[in-house]
C-alpha cells in the first residue's frame, strides 16, 4: 500500500478568507460546497474588512475528461458494446468466450480510434492545448488496450506473441514508414539523408519467416566472408539481420520507445519468444534505453502488461489516465477473460468497484444518467441499490422526465421508487391546485390516505360550486376507485350523474339509494344526495321502490337530527348548502311520502 | 482533477451550515447574521438566492431539508426547518444539531441540545411503512472528559415498547465527538458510521445473524469494527459528511483542510483528496481567475460567479489509485 496521505491529491483554493478554516458539505454524489468557518479575531476583522467584501462559498466538483464533447461519443457508443458483452458472456460456452472478447475489445478500440479522428477533424475554433491533451489521452488508451488484447485476451496457441507485437509497433510507431515514404519520393532515394534510416527501421520491423534461422546463418556467413565490406551501411543492415545486439542498440535514436527496441531486438534474436519470457526482454530494453529513472507512467502500464500482472496494469492505468471509462472497461474485459483462473480472484470485486465508480460519474451528470443506470444493472447488489437511489433523486423537472424515470424504474421492478415519485408528483399537483392530476398520481402511488383527502376536496368543491373538477378523469377511474372509501364514493357518484344524464333513471335511482344506505357518503354530502333524489321521486313512473324510500326517509331523519344538534352548538359548516337544503326539506318530505304511496300501490299491483 | 466556482454567499457574517435538498438542486445556508437563505440552481448552473428570511434573534446554526414526500402545501413543495440558537419549544439550551430520519421511517426529526438531551419528534399522520430494520440512531457526546468512557452511543427503537434503548457504546471513541453521520446504505450488509472527534473515525456496525430472525422483542447485536482512524488533519475534526452513495466521506478539521475519503474494493479507506484555502498576495495569476476576491472585483459585475476555475494542485497531480 502507498503512504496514505502523502500520495493523495492536494488542491488549493486561492481565497484568504477560506484559508483560515473551512468546512465542506457534500451535495449529491460528487459536489462539494466549501465555506469559511472560523470567526476571525476582532483586530483581524478591522484590518481586513475593506478588502474582504462578502463571504464566499465555493462549489468544488470533480472534473473529468468524460464531460468533454469528444468523450460523449465514446460513452454513448461503448455502452452498447458493454451491454452486448455482458449478455453474450452469460450465454456463451467457455470455448466461445475468447473470440467474443477479442471482438468486443476490437470494438472498443475502433471507437477510440474514431474519437481520435474526430479530435483531429475538429482542430479549429477550440482550445488547442485541450485538443492535444485529448488526442494524447485517446492515443494512450488505444495503445494500452491493443497491448492488453495481445497479451491477455487474444492469446495464440503456444504462447507466441512476436508477430502480434510487431504489428502493434508498426501500427503505433509510423516513424519508419514515414521516413521510407519521404525517401522514396525524392529523385535519388539512396542519396536522401533519411534513406538508410528508413532501411534500418524497416528491417527492424520486417515480417518473421519460418526459414529465419537458415536465413540468418546465411547472413552471418556472408558477413564473415566480407560481402558487404564495400558499403558499411549494408554491413549495418546485415548486422541487424544477424541479431547483433550492439548494432541494434546503437540505433536506439531511431526508435521512439523501449518497447520498440524490445520488439526489434526480439525479432532478430529470439523470434519465438513465449509470453512468459517477455518481461525479461522488457527489463533489458528498459535498461538499454536509460533505466527505470526515465520511465513514464505509461511505460509502467506497458511493463506491467508484459509482466502479465493484471492487478498492476489496472492500478497503473488509474494513474496514467484521467478517466474511469478505461479502467472500468478494461477490468470488465479482463475479468471475463480470466474469470475462471485461480490467482485472479480479486478481479470480480475490483470489476464491480471500478464499474460503480464509472457509473457514479455518469449518473451525476444531467444527461448521461441513463447510461449510468445501464452499467449499474451489471454491478450486483450495490449497483441495484445505487440505481434505486439515483432514480429517486433525479429532479422531477417536467412530465417527460418523470415518465422516463417511471419507465426505467418499472423495467427494473423498483415498485417503491414508482410509488415515491408518483406521491411527490401528487403532492406537487395538490399544492398547485390541480386536484384531478393529483388524484391520478395518488392512484398510481396507491396512497389511500392521500386520494381520500383529495376526493373530499373535490366533493367539497362540488358542494360549494355545483360542478366537478376534472370529471373526465373521474369517469375513467375504473377499479382504481376502490383504493379508498371516499374515492369509491366519488367515482360511483360520477356514475350516477352519467346514468341520470343518459336518462337511465331506474339504475340511477338504485345507485343513488345504495350510495346513501351503504354509508359510503360523507355526512356533509347527504343533503346533496337527497336533493339529487328529488327529481327521481317526482318522476312520472315511480323509479324508487317503497323499501328504497324508507332508506331515504331514514337518512333524512338522521340528517335532520344532526342538523338540529349542531344548530344549537354553533354555525353550520356548509352554510350555503345547508340553507338551501332547509328550504327544500319540506319539499323532500312531501316527495318522499308521495313516492312511498305510489310505490306501494305500484308494487302491490304488480304482485297481483 | 477538480474545478471550483465561487458563489457570493450574500451573508453578512459567518456561514454555519449548508444543506442540500433531496435532489441536490436547492441549497439552504444559515449564518451568524441571523438569516436563512434558500438557493436554487438555475438553467445555467448558477446558484441564485431565491429566498431569505430573518426571524431569529441569534445565530442560526443548522438547516436541514425534509424528504419531498412529506411536504405538501408550501408553494414549491419543499420546506426547511431551522433551529434557533436558544429555545425550541422543548429545549432551554442551545440546539447543537438537527437531522431528519430516512424516508422509510416516516417524518421523524431528532435534535440534540447542549444540555445533553436528544429529542426525537415524529409526525404521527404519516403512513406507517413496513420497516426492514428497527430505526437506529447514533448519538455522540462532546463531553471533554475523556476518562468517562465511550462517547458514541447507538440507540434502537423497539416497535413493541415504543422506547429507544441503548444497544451499543463505541468504547474506542473516548475523545469529545463533534459530528457523526451514518452513510447511506446502498446494498451493504453493514452500517457505516463516520465520526469527527480528535481524528476521523470510520466504524462499521454489522448486525449479527440472530438479529434477522422473527424475534422482534430482542435488541440487535452488532459486530463493531473500526474501518479507519486517520489523524491527517493533525487536529480536531469538526464535521463529517457522506455523499449520496455512501462512498465518499468529507471531513473538515482545525487545520483548515477539507479531506475526502474513499474505500477501495477491499474496504480499505484512504484519503483521496485534500482541499485547502490559500492566502494569495499576487493576484495576477491568470490560471485561477475568480479564485481570489480581489480578482473577482477586477473582472467585474458579478458575472464570474458562474465561472469554473481549475484548482491548482499543490502536490502530486495524478489521481490516487483506489485499490
SS3 B204: strand
Tell whether pTM > 0.90. no
Q: What integer pLDDT is reported at residue A47 of this predicted model? A: 43
* Distance between CA atoms of residues A550 and B235, nearest Å: 84
Mean pLDDT for the stretch of residues A192-196: 55
pLDDT tops 80 at residue A199: no
Q: What integer pLDDT is reported at residue B304 of this predicted model? A: 33
Residue of B nearest to A7 (CA): B316
Residue of A nearest to B282 (CA): A14
Q: What integer pLDDT is reported at residue A109 of this predicted model? A: 92
Residue of B nearest to A4 (CA): B270
Chain A residues within 8 A of B8 when measuring between CB atoms = 54, 56
CB count in 10 Å sphere of residue A209: 10
Window 56-85 of B, Cβ < 8 Å to A: 68-69, 71-77
Q: What integer pLDDT is reported at residue B131 of this predicted model? A: 42
Give the total residue count for chain A.
Answer: 608
Give the DSSP H or E segment for A220.
helix A212-225
Chain A residues within 8 A of B31 when measuring between CB atoms = 55
Q: Are A372 and A366 in contact (CB under 8 A)?
A: no
* Predicted confidence (pLDDT) per residue in B37-48, tens digit: 888 888 887 888
Chain B residues within 8 A of A14 when measuring between CB atoms = 277-278, 280, 285, 288, 291-292, 312
Chain A residues within 8 A of B232 when measuring between CB atoms = 4-5
Q: Are A200 and A236 in contact (CB under 8 A)?
A: yes
* Distance between CA atoms of residues A235 and A226, nearest Å: 9
Mean pLDDT for the stretch of residues A187-200: 55
More confident: A183 or A26: A26
Residue of A nearest to B239 (CA): A23
Mean pLDDT for the stretch of residues A594-607: 81
* Distance between CA atoms of residues A250 and B70, nearest Å: 77
The answer to whether the Cα torsion of A322, A327, A330, A332 is positive or negative is negative
Chain B contact probe: residue of A15, A332, A422, A425 with most B CBs at under 10 A: A15
Mean pLDDT for the stretch of residues A457-479: 81
Return the percent helix, strand and coil in chain A, to nearest 5: 75, 5, 20
Q: Which residue has the cell 422483542?
A: B217
Out of B15, B23, B256, the one facing A35 most closely (by C-beta) is B15
Which residues partner with B7 through β-bridges? A57
Query: Is B227 an interface residue toward A (CB < 8 Å)?
Result: no
Residue of B nearest to A421 (CA): B69
DSSP state of A274: B
List of domains in chain B: 9-130 (2.130.10.10), 132-277 (2.130.10.10), 283-310 (no CATH)
Q: Edge-to-edge strands of the sheet including B95-100?
A: B95-100, B108-113, B118-122
Nearest to B193 by CA among B164, B238, B225, B220: B225
Window 164-183 of B, Cβ < 8 Å to A: none
Q: What integer pLDDT is reported at residue A534 of this predicted model? A: 85
Contact across the interface for A21 and B254, Cβ inside 8 Å: yes
pLDDT tops 70 at residue B300: no
pLDDT tops 50 at residue A271: yes
Nearest to B107 by CA among B162, B69, B159, B62: B69
Average pLDDT for chain B: 70
Report DSSP letters for A435-479, one per residue: HHHHHHHHHHTT-HHHHHHHHHHHHHHHHHHSS-TTHHHHHT-GG
Query: Is B53 an interface residue toward A (CB < 8 Å)?
Result: no
Nearest to A32 by CA among B292, B300, B248, B216: B248
Q: What percent of chain A has pLDDT above 70?
A: 75
CA angle B290, B295, B299 (to 5 degrees): 80
Q: Are B149 and B169 in contact (CB under 8 A)?
A: yes
pLDDT tops 60 at residue B246: yes
Chain B residues within 8 A of A37 when measuring between CB atoms = 14-15, 238, 252
Out of B2, B76, B275, the one facing A63 most closely (by C-beta) is B2
Which residues partner with B207 through β-bridges? B222
Contact across the interface for B273 and A394, Cβ inside 8 Å: no
User: pLDDT grade, residue A226 (50/70/90)?
Assistant: low
Mean pLDDT for the stretch of residues B200-228: 75
Contact across the interface for A51 and B293, Cβ inside 8 Å: yes
DSSP state of A383: H
* Predicted confidence (pLDDT) per residue in A375-433, tens digit: 999 988 889 999 998 998 888 888 899 999 999 999 999 988 898 899 889 888 888 88
pLDDT tops 90 at residue A372: yes
Which residues partner with B48 through β-bridges? B40
Amino acid at each position: 500500500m502507498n503512504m496514505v496521505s502523502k500520495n493523495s491529491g492536494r488542491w488549493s483554493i486561492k481565497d484568504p478568507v477560506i484559508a483560515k478554516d473551512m468546512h465542506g458539505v457534500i451535495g449529491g454524489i460528487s459536489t462539494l460546497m466549501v465555506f469559511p468557518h472560523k470567526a476571525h479575531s476582532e483586530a483581524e476583522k478591522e484590518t481586513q474588512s475593506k478588502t474582504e467584501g462578502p463571504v464566499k462559498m465555493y462549489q468544488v466538483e470533480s472534473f473529468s475528461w468524460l464531460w468533454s464533447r469528444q468523450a460523449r461519443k465514446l460513452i454513448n457508443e461503448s455502452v452498447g458494446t458493454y451491454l452486448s458483452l455482458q449478455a453474450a458472456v452469460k450465454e456463451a460456452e467457455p470455448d466461445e468466450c475468447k473470440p467474443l472478447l477479442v471482438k468486443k475489445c476490437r470494438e472498443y478500440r475502433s471507437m477510440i480510434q474514431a474519437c481520435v479522428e474526430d479530435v483531429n477533424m475538429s482542430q479549429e475554433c477550440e482550445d488547442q492545448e485541450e485538443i492535444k491533451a485529448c488526442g494524447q489521452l485517446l492515443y494512450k488508451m488505444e495503445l494500452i488496450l491493443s497491448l492488453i488484447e495481445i497479451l491477455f485476451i487474444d492469446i495464440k496457441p503456444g504462447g507466441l506473441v512476436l508477430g502480434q507485437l510487431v504489428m502493434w509497433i508498426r501500427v503505433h510507431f509510423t516513424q519508419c514508414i514515414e521516413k521510407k515514404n519521404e525517401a522514396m519520393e525524392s529523385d535519388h532515394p539512396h542519396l536522401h539523408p533519411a534513406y538508410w534510416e528508413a532501411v534500418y527501421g524497416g528491417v527492424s520491423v520486417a515480417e518473421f519467416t519460418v526459414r529465419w534461422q537458415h536465413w540468418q546463418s546465411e547472413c552471418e556467413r556472408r558477413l564473415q566472408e566480407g560481402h558487404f565490406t564495400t558499403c558499411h551501411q549494408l554491413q549495418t543492415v546485415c548486422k541487424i539481420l544477424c541479431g547483433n545486439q550492439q548494432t541494434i542498440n546503437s540505433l536506439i535514436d531511431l526508435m521512439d520507445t523501449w518497447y520498440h527496441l524490445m520488439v526489434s531486438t526480439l525479432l532478430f534474436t529470439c523470434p519465438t519468444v513465449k509470453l512468459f519470457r517477455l518481461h525479461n526482454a522488457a527489463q533489458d530494453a528498459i535498461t538499454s534505453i536509460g533505466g527505470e529513472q526515465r520511465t513514464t507512467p505509461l511505460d509502467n502500464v506497458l511493463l506491467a502488461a508484459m509482466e502479465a500482472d493484471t492487478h498492476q496494469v489496472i492500478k497503473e492505468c488509474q494513474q496514467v489516465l484521467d478517466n474511469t471509462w478505461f479502467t472500468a472497461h478494461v477490468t470488465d474485459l479482463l475479468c471475463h477473460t480470466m474469470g475462471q483462473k485461480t490467482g485472479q480472484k480479486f478481479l470480480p470485486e475490483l470489476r464491480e468497484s471500478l464499474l460503480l465508480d464509472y457509473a457514479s460519474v455518469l449518473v451525476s451528470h444531467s444527461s448521461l444518467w441513463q447510461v449510468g443506470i445501464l452499467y449499474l444493472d451489471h454491478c450486483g447488489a450495490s449497483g441495484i441499490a445505487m440505481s434505486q437511489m439515483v432514480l429517486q433523486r433525479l429532479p422531477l423537472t417536467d412530465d417527460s422526465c418523470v415518465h422516463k424515470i417511471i419507465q426505467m424504474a418499472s423495467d427494473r421492478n423498483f415498485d417503491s421508487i414508482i410509488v415515491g415519485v408518483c406521491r411527490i408528483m401528487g403532492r406537487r399537483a395538490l399544492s398547485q391546485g390541480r386536484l384531478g392530476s393529483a388524484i391520478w398520481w395518488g392512484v398510481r402511488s396507491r396512497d389511500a390516505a392521500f386520494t381520500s383527502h383529495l376526493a373530499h376536496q373535490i366533493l367539497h368543491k362540488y358542494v360549494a360550486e355545483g360542478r366537478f373538477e376534472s370529471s373526465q378523469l373521474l369517469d375513467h377511474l375504473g377499479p382504481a376507485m376502490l383504493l379508498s372509501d371516499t374515492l369509491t364514493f366519488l367515482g360511483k357518484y360520477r356514475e350516477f350523474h352519467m346514468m341520470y344524464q343518459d336518462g337511465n333513471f331506474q339504475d340511477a335511482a338504485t345507485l343513488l339509494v345504495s350510495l346513501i344506505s351503504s354509508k359510503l357518503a360523507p355526512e356533509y354530502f347527504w343533503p346533496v344526495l337527497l336533493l339529487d333524489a328529488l327529481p327521481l321521486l317526482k318522476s312520472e313512473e315511480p323509479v324508487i321502490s317503497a323499501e328504497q324510500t324508507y332508506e331515504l326517509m331514514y337518512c333524512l331523519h338522521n340528517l335532520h337530527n344532526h342538523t338540529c344538534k349542531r344548530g344549537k352548538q354553533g354555525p353550520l359548516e356548509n352554510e350555503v348548502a345547508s340553507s338551501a337544503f332547509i328550504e327544500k326539506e319540506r319539499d323532500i318530505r312531501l316527495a318522499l311520502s308521495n313516492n312511498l304511496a305510489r310505490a306501494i300501490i305500484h308494487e302491490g299491483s304488480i304482485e297481483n | 482533477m477538480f474545478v471550483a466556482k465561487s458563489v457570493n454567499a450574500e451573508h453578512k457574517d459567518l456561514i454555519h451550515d449548508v444543506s442540500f435538498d433531496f435532489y441536490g438542486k436547492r441549497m439552504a445556508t444559515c449564518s451568524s447574521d441571523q438569516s436563512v437563505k434558500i438557493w436554487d440552481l438555475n438553467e445555467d448552473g448558477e446558484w441564485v438566492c431565491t429566498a431569505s428570511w430573518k426571524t431569529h434573534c441569534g445565530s442560526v446554526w443548522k438547516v436541514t431539508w425534509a424528504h419531498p414526500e412529506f411536504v405538501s402545501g408550501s408553494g414549491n413543495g419543499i420546506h426547511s426547518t431551522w433551529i434557533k440558537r436558544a429555545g425550541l419549544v422543548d429545549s432551554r439550551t442551545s440546539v447543537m444539531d438537527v437531522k431528519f430520519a430516512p424516508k422509510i421511517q416516516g417524518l421523524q426529526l431528532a435534535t440534540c441540545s447542549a444540555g445533553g438531551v436528544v429529542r426525537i419528534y415524529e409526525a404521527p399522520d404519516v403512513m406507517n411503512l413496513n420497516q426492514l430494520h428497527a430505526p437506529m440512531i447514533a448519538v455522540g457526546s462532546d463531553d471533554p472528559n475523556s476518562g468517562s468512557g465511550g462517547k458514541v452511543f447507538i440507540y434502537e427503537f423497539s416497535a413493541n415498547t415504543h422506547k429507544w434503548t441503548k444497544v451499543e457504546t463505541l468504547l474506542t471513541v473516548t475523545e469529545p465527538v463533534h459530528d457523526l453521520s451514518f452513510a447511506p446504505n446502498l446494498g451493504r450488509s453493514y452500517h457505516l458510521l463516520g465520526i469527527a472527534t480528535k481524528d476521523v473515525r470510520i466504524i462499521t456496525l454489522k448486525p449479527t445473524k440472530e438479529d434477522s430472525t422473527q424475534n422482534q422483542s430482542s435488541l440487535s447485536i452488532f459486530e463493531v469494527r473500526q474501518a479507519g482512524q486517520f489523524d491527517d488533519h493533525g487536529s480536531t475534526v469538526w464535521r463529517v459528511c457522506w455523499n449520496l452513495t455512501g462512498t465518499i466521506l468529507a471531513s473538515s478539521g482545525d487545520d483548515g483542510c477539507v479531506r475526502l475519503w474513499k474505500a477501495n474494493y477491499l474496504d480499505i479507506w484512504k484519503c483521496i483528496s485534500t482541499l485547502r484555502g490559500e492566502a494569495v498576495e499576487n493576484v495576477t495569476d491568470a490560471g485561477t481567475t475568480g479564485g481570489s476576491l480581489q480578482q473577482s472585483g477586477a473582472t467585474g459585475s458579478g458575472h464570474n460567479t458562474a465561472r469554473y476555475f481549475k484548482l491548482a494542485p499543490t502536490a502530486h497531480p495524478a489521481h490516487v489509485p483506489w485499490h
